[in-house]
Amino acid sequence: MSIKFGEVCQIGYIVRDIEAAMQKWIALGVGPWYYRETNPISEFNYYGKPSAFPDMSIALANSGQVQIELIQQRNDAPSLYLDMIQSGQEGIQHIAYWTADRFDEFKGELLRLGFQEGHSGRMGKGGRFGYFIDPSMPGTIIELSETTGGKMDRFNLVREASRNWNGEDPIRKMTITA
């Protein structure tokens, strides 16, 4: 656990084929997956400048207390997701810390420590998100996710569904907006 930001809450993976990635995780016994083919991004910045919105599919499941996020970007809008795919890679991209009320404080601390904001935004009416990179720590991206506007409700639903999951109904449409 970080004494600055709390527990790592999520591990995010960038994938080229989200449906195939979900099936691999299901075979490992992780699920159920909450899947949304398109996501309502309402704000997006790439390296501090307003940018086109990435069209992306997201799937969420929990393994214990840690949420696994799969992201497939479906267009060529600038983002750290696309940067990873264009570099020929896919797999673990970030770890995330969640906060209901300390987003600005946590962001300030990361910037003070030499991180820069690679991309940031907001999905729908939900809380903000920001992905922070530090060139002196290659391969390390930290996401801050503000859990307001219904986002924490969605995360709790995903976690609770995993607790007694018996393998049935492994892919579910995500219906909570945030």
Share of the chain above pLDDT 90, in %: 87
- Please state, in angstroms and rounded to a whole number, the distance separating the CA atoms of residues 144 and 146: 7
Q: For residue 125, what pLDDT is reported?
A: 81
Q: For residue 139, what pLDDT is reported?
A: 85
- Please state, in angstroms and rounded to a whole number, the distance separating the CA atoms of residues 47 and 45: 6
Q: For residue 178, what pLDDT is reported?
A: 44
The answer to whether residues 68 and 60 touch, using CB atoms and an 8 Å cutoff, is: yes
The domains found in the chain, sorted by start residue, are 10-165 (3.10.180.10)
Q: Note the Cα 14 to chain centre separation in Å.
A: 9
- Please state, in angstroms and rounded to a whole number, the distance separating the CA atoms of residues 10 and 55: 21
- Mean pLDDT for 44-49 is 96
pLDDT digits (tens, 9 = 90+) for 61-111: 999 999 999 999 999 999 999 999 999 999 999 999 999 999 999 999 999
Residue type, 133: I
pLDDT digits (tens, 9 = 90+) for 116-148: 999 999 987 878 999 999 989 888 999 999 999
135 upstream amide cis, omega within 30 of 0: no
